[in-house]
Amino acid sequence: MKARIIISLKAGVLDPQGKAIQTSLHDLDFHTVNNVRQGKCIELNIDEENEELALKNLRRMCEKLLANTVIEDYSIEILD
Amino acid sequence: MQNFKTSNIRAEAEIIAAHGLSEQEYNLIVKRLGRNPNITELGIFSVMWSEHCSYKSSKIWLKTLPVDAPWVICGPGENAGVIDIGDEQAAVFKMESHNHPSFIEPYQGAATGVGGILRDIFTMGARPIANMNSLRFGDITHHKTRHLVSGVVSGIGGYGNCIGIPTIGGECNFHQAYDGNILVNAMTVGIADKQKIFYSAAAAVGFPVVYVGSKTGRDGIHGATMASSEFGHDSEEKRPTVQVGDPFTEKLVLEACLELMETDAILAIQDMGAAGLTCSSVEMASKGNTGIELHLDCIPTREPGMTPYEIMLSESQERMLMVLKPGSETNARKIFNKWQVDFEIVGKITNTKRMVLKQNDSIIGDIPISPLVDDAPILERPYQLQEIPKPILKLEFDKDNESLFGTLTKLISSPNLCSKRWIWEQYDHMVMADTIAQPGEDASIVRIHGTNKALAIATDCTPRYCASHPETGGAQAVAETWRNLTAVGATPLAITDCLNFGNPERPDIMGQFVGCIKGMSQACQSLNYPVVSGNVSFYNETNGESIMPTPTIGGVGLISDIDNIAKTSFAKTDEQIILIGETRGHLHTSMYANEILGREDGPPPPINLDQERKNGNFVRSLIQNGNIKTCHDISDGGLLVAIAEMSLAALKEGRQIGATIYMPTDNIPPVNWFFGEDQSRYIVCANTDKTDNLIEEAEKQSVSTRVIGFTDSSTLTLRNSDAISIDEIMQAYESWFPAFMKD
Amino acid sequence: MKAAIIVFPGSNCDRDIKVALECSIGAKPEMVWHGDSGLPKCDLIVLPGGFSYGDYLRSGAMAANSPIMREVIEATRRGTRLLAICNGFQIATEAGLLPGILMPNASLKFICRNVLLKVESVKSDFTINYSKGDVITMPIAHRDGNYFAPPKELEYLEQNNLVAFRYCDSTGRPTTKANPNGSAGNIAGILNEEKNILGMMPHPERVVDSRLGGLDGKVMFECLLQQLS
């Protein structure tokens, strides 16, 4: 099955990249934009038929490597 | 797909043109094959005969450059040039352009430019020890300039820093002539054992051909053809042809290759650069006077269903092709596995003198090697040489009431003279722990690891001189690198070049090329400073507007003892400041004329190569004998800018040292004296008690000298009592660039 | 004094630290490939600078999960000293050997320059021969050197004198101007509680030769030689 993991900065952690993006958007006259946060999207195939087991493994992957839980949160989505 | 064996249909005119071939060139292909080529074969001919790979417009002129000297081990024709630097070691170096891709996608274009030139060096068995780059951007008011600067610098840093090779110097200029065509010329220098240089000639029949590195994808297909055609308004759509680099993989490939090179497993090795697998395999067979058979199903691919055409023309980065000695494959594979780099045996060297491509055991391409390389069209393009422009009879100095220091401040804070710290602080210039001196000296210096010797490297070109008179400009570019190396105390040994020009189909542009080459030849000859490698980039034009002729030169010299080098910075107060070389006050085409008077006309400063050699040899002997420690050559901006730079360099090292400078006594107006760009000049400092000896010795060697002042405290003062604090100059010098980049 | 330098795919400054240790204190460090098992017995382990795994995903994240790191962690628990420089510091935080994380520089750009550091703690084998308050010069060269830790952890570091070096001006003051990358508290290097691990962003191995930048790094290696022999 295919999974998509979104890794985002925890609220309150300074995000200079998000800030730079927001400035650029404002420069392009998109003034209604605020609170930009930049994250990461990782997509992968996992050879697992049992969705619960897959999710368990994916969570472990996030905890162990894909996210640094000091500053990042993660969310997992099973795609088709 | 056309059936190889049975169909023999002439390609449509559109397809031929899309491949950058003329009808005549297509007919020649048919003649050589004895039939029409299939699409894969057409693609192969198209890239091998492209300007970028075949050098068809430049070949006959490049042959006229001096390439020999007793210390040259390998001149032009291999992946890079090789020179003997003593103690059984060799320096391996080359410069290359990545202009068009950098304009389209600045980060990846510049990054892959760095990656490409690095491979050219380590493929010869040399560990790269220094990167340099020469950058030309458009006018500062052009809407793309800031974005391009940001992207290119990020890309160079992103690649060079990751792979762990210091980027230690270079140049960066702005001019509207580059608005639509920026120049990104990247140079790498490496060190190898003299007895272990690896070449690309695959002269052993039956030996296996091995592919190592990244998997092949659809990157940059027809990048070589794109580099040969001008940009039109649709150049943005050419984005898919830009390659994407992976410096981490390149680091692994570098280490794996160098580890394998310590054994004697490799017969020949070539990196896959422009025209990828095609160019590397053809060149190996051509040089070895052999043939090559490739099994395309063995090529590691990262995209499913790639066609032979795509596989042969892909410009995916970080790939090498090797010919190994039979029996060494297992051990070689082990090394590449350790470094987690793909290793596949993909073919063998044959005695057929043909390139045969197989897929699923069927032959899907069969081309004789010779036409691909030796039959590439050699063009004798018509050219018109430029005369030296006449001096402007009355060069108006309408800034009479502007103080000399007011002018100095304007010049030193101008885009072309100001501090480029914003750029070089983004490059790790210290990794490998052998870099002597920060960027900003006349030449960059990197210690030869484990010794007390060093290599000095300088990149230069003054395009406005070349635009004014190509022959003078070509000679000046070579001479300026020679001067830069001399000014730090190095013995200049050889050069590489990156010749950037517009459309060679235009006689005036071809004339610029021929003129620059003539000038370069004269300088190389006179200074005993041959060309050992190089690169040509044509078609740097947009909508008919060409860049200025820009023959970038990369010079390399040897420092035998790092304790006897000279630095730009004033060392102490109360030293005599001595000008070496004659001053006539040449203002035409100077930075003063450009920036202050807003004009570019008139002749470039003349260059007397005989005198250049005499002046330089004299200065070098002073440095190498330990007689002087402070030296700066005079270039853009002239004498007063050079003196200011010496104070600024001292301030950077924590010393507030200024100077008192005498006014000119000849009939040369002060503006000409202080800002003229006469060539072959240096400023040195010496203790008062050593000055007389120095002047006497200079006279014996027919070198002019003049004491022009002395170092003192924290200001620059002219004897007409104008003064400016060094802090004020520093402020002007350092603040322009960050403000421009909105930092 | 026996030293081992761990080499990961993409490490760049391994040779630099090897040569620095050889030249400044006559050590003969062993180079240990990350994929080998069996860390040799030694007094000092170095995690060198560079771009392990290209800095992909997060700097140091993948190297921290390398098999050899299990042995490195165990060795530090037994008291072996660990010097974690630049990418090594990033690896150490990702591996949980030191608190916090090194985030992208505030300027979002790679920075290579000499910086002034105030020596904050001299109570470690790495810093014992400096004097507290010394202002030394070392180069930095990094894109992700912005030290961050949750407030409680930062407080803990400060209160327990676990900050080893701080970016400062020429008089030793940790000003904003002197902070090249936005690090919390101008922190350039920290110690673990047991003080046998030092993580730092600046490169001491680049300052062991007066012709090439200075000698302030040599002092650190001399401390280690003295303490561990």
Q: Judge whether residue B236 has pLDDT over 60.
A: no
- Which residue range(s) make up the domain with A73? 2-78
User: Are C53 and B248 in contact (CB < 8 Å)?
Assistant: yes
Pick the catalytic residue from B19, B98, B175, B586: B98
Residue C86 annotated as catalytic: yes
DSSP lists the bridge partners of residue B266 as B324
Angle subtended at Cα B707 by Cα B703 and Cα B708, rounded to the nearest 5 degrees: 120
**Kind plus residue range of the DSSP H or E element containing A54:** helix A51-61
B102 reaches C (C-beta below 8 A): no
What SS3 class is residue B538? Answer: coil
The amino acid that residue B597 corresponds to is: L
CB atoms within 10 A of CB C137: 16
Is residue B657 within 8 Å of residue B644, measured between CB atoms? no
User: Are C50 and B563 in contact (CB < 8 Å)?
Assistant: no
Sign of CA dihedral B682, B684, B688, B692: negative
B429 reaches C (C-beta below 8 A): yes
How much of chain B is in helix, strand and coil states, percent to nearest 5? 35, 25, 40
Choose among B55, B50, B51: nearest CA to B65. B55
Spell out a b/e string for C105-120, using b for 16 or more CB atoms within 10 Å of the CB, else e.
Answer: bbbebbbbebbbbbbb
User: Are A68 and C58 in contact (CB < 8 Å)?
Assistant: yes
Nearest-10 Cα torsion for B560, B566, B567, B571:
140
Pick the catalytic residue from C42, C94, C168, C203: C203
CA distance C223 to chain A (A): 33
What SS3 class is residue B535? Answer: strand
Chains with 3 or more CB pairs under 8 A to chain B: C
User: Are B248 and C109 in contact (CB < 8 Å)?
Assistant: no
The residue ranges of every structural domain in chain C are 3-228
User: Are A68 and C150 in contact (CB < 8 Å)?
Assistant: no
> Could you report the per-residue pLDDT of B698-738, keeping only the tens digit for each?
999 999 999 999 999 888 888 767 899 999 999 999 999 99
Q: Judge whether residue B7 has pLDDT over 80.
A: no
Residues with Cβ within 8 Å of B517's Cβ and at least 6 positions away in sequence, in order, are B61, B62, B64, B65, B474, B499, B551
Write the DSSP assignment of C124-162 as a string of letters.
STTTTTS-TT-EEEEEEEESS-EEE--HHHHHHHHHTT-
CA distance C32 to chain A (A): 23
Pick among A68, A69, A74 to test the C interface (most C CBs inside 10 A):
A68
Query: For the ranges B144-158, B571-585, B651-665, which has the lowest average pLDDT?
Result: B651-665
Say which residue, A20 or A37, is predicted with more confidence.
A37
User: Are A70 and C57 in contact (CB < 8 Å)?
Assistant: no
Which residue is associated with the tokens 């098999």? C67
Residue of C nearest to A18 (CA): C108
User: Are C110 and B433 in contact (CB < 8 Å)?
Assistant: no
Q: What is the arithmetic mean of pLDDT over B498-524?
A: 98
Supply the DSSP symbol for A64: I
Choose among C69, C99, C63: nearest CA to C4. C69
CA distance C203 to chain A (A): 25
Reduced 3-state DSSP string for B9-20: CCCCHHHHHHCC
Cα–Cα distance for residue pair B212/B214, rounded to 1 Å: 7
Choose among B191, B195, B187, B111: nearest CA to B151. B111
Q: Judge whether residue B203 has pLDDT over 90.
A: no
Angle subtended at Cα C193 by Cα C188 and Cα C194, rounded to the nearest 5 degrees: 115
Angle subtended at Cα B107 by Cα B554 and Cα A40, rounded to the nearest 5 degrees: 150
Pick the catalytic residue from C71, C94, C120, C205: C205
Q: Judge whether residue B241 has pLDDT over 80.
A: no
Is residue B431 within 8 Å of residue C141, measured between CB atoms? yes
Pick among A44, A65, A69 to test the C interface (most C CBs inside 10 A):
A65
User: Are C108 and A68 in contact (CB < 8 Å)?
Assistant: no
Residue of B nearest to C36 (CA): B338
The phi, psi pair for B301, rounded to 5°, reads -120, 150
Q: What is the arithmetic mean of pLDDT over B377-396?
A: 87
What SS3 class is residue B439? Answer: coil
Query: For the ranges B79-93, B211-225, B616-630, B678-692, which has the lowest average pLDDT?
Result: B211-225
What SS3 class is residue B564? Answer: coil
**A contacts of C61 (beta carbons < 8 Å):** 65, 68
CA distance C34 to chain B (A): 10
**C contacts of B252 (beta carbons < 8 Å):** 9-10
- Our count of domains for chain A comes to 1
Using a cut of 0.90, tell me whether the model's pTM lies above it: yes
CATH value at residue A45: 3.30.1280.10
Cα–Cα distance for residue pair B21/B229, rounded to 1 Å: 11
Cα–Cα distance for residue pair B704/B698, rounded to 1 Å: 7
CA distance B253 to chain C (A): 11
Cα–Cα distance for residue pair B377/B54, rounded to 1 Å: 8
Supply the DSSP symbol for B50: S
Query: For the ranges B45-54, B685-694, C10-19, C148-157, which has the lowest average pLDDT?
Result: B45-54
Choose among B425, B421, B413, B406: nearest CA to B730. B413
User: Are A16 and C57 in contact (CB < 8 Å)?
Assistant: no
The fraction of chain B above a pLDDT of 70, given in percent, is 95
**C contacts of B246 (beta carbons < 8 Å):** 54
Residues with Cβ within 8 Å of C152's Cβ and at least 6 positions away in sequence, in order, are none
User: Are B743 and C107 in contact (CB < 8 Å)?
Assistant: yes
Residues with Cβ within 8 Å of C209's Cβ and at least 6 positions away in sequence, in order, are C23, C215
Residue C203 annotated as catalytic: yes
The amino acid that residue B323 corresponds to is: V
User: Are C111 and B427 in contact (CB < 8 Å)?
Assistant: no
The amino acid that residue B423 corresponds to is: I
Is residue B113 within 8 Å of residue B186, measured between CB atoms? yes
> Could you report the per-residue pLDDT of B294-304, keeping only the tens digit for each?
999 999 998 88
Is residue B661 within 8 Å of residue B716, measured between CB atoms? yes
Cα–Cα distance for residue pair B609/B679, rounded to 1 Å: 10
Pick among A36, A66, A71 to test the C interface (most C CBs inside 10 A):
A71
Tell me the pairing of strands C3-7 and C30-33: parallel
Pick the catalytic residue from C42, C86, C168, C223: C86
Write the DSSP assignment of B197-228 as a string of letters.
--------TTPEEEEEESPB-STTTTHHHHHT
pLDDT at residue number B396: 60
The shortest CB-CB distance from B433 to any of C19, C109, C111 is to C19
Pick among C17, C86, C110 to test the B interface (most B CBs inside 10 A):
C110
The amino acid that residue C105 corresponds to is: N
Cα–Cα distance for residue pair B357/B295, rounded to 1 Å: 6
CA distance C44 to chain B (A): 21
C163's tokens: 């900050």
**Cβ-based burial of C133 (10 A; exposed 0-12, middle 13-18, buried ≥19):** exposed
The shortest CB-CB distance from C51 to any of B162, B339, B427 is to B162
Pick among B127, B152, B249, B251 to test the C interface (most C CBs inside 10 A):
B251
Write the DSSP assignment of B587-607 as a string of letters.
-TTSHIIIIIT----SPPPP-
Q: Judge whether residue B238 has pLDDT over 50.
A: no
CA distance B299 to chain C (A): 24
Supply the DSSP symbol for B267: E
User: Are C51 and B246 in contact (CB < 8 Å)?
Assistant: no
User: Are C108 and A20 in contact (CB < 8 Å)?
Assistant: yes
**B contacts of C50 (beta carbons < 8 Å):** 164
CA distance C135 to chain B (A): 15
pLDDT at residue number B394: 67
A12 reaches C (C-beta below 8 A): no
Residues with Cβ within 8 Å of C30's Cβ and at least 6 positions away in sequence, in order, are C2, C3, C4, C5, C40, C42
B246 reaches C (C-beta below 8 A): yes
User: Are C9 and B161 in contact (CB < 8 Å)?
Assistant: no
CATH 3.40.50.880 describes domain C3-228: yes
- Segment 30-59 of chain A within 8 Å of chain C by CB: none
The shortest CB-CB distance from C104 to any of A16, A64, A65 is to A16
Give B1's pLDDT tier (boundaries 50, 70, 90).
very low
C39's tokens: 């860390």
**C contacts of A66 (beta carbons < 8 Å):** 57
Chains with 3 or more CB pairs under 8 A to chain A: C
Say which residue, B443 or B202, is predicted with more confidence.
B443
Ordered alpha helix ranges (H), B404-450? 404-412, 421-424
User: Are A14 and C149 in contact (CB < 8 Å)?
Assistant: no
The phi, psi pair for B578, rounded to 5°, reads -115, 130
Cα–Cα distance for residue pair B164/B248, rounded to 1 Å: 10
CA distance B425 to chain C (A): 5
Q: Judge whether residue B285 has pLDDT over 60.
A: yes
Supply the DSSP symbol for B684: E
Number of A/C CB contacts below 8 angstroms equals 31
pLDDT tens, N- to C-terminus, chain C (229 residues): 999 999 999 999 999 999 999 999 999 999 999 988 889 999 999 999 999 999 999 999 999 999 899 999 999 999 999 999 999 999 999 999 999 999 999 999 999 999 999 999 999 999 999 999 999 999 999 999 999 999 999 999 999 999 999 999 999 999 999 999 999 999 999 999 999 999 999 999 999 999 888 999 999 999 999 999 8
Spell out a b/e string for B343-357, using b for 16 or more CB atoms within 10 Å of the CB, else e.
Answer: bbbbbbbbebebbbb
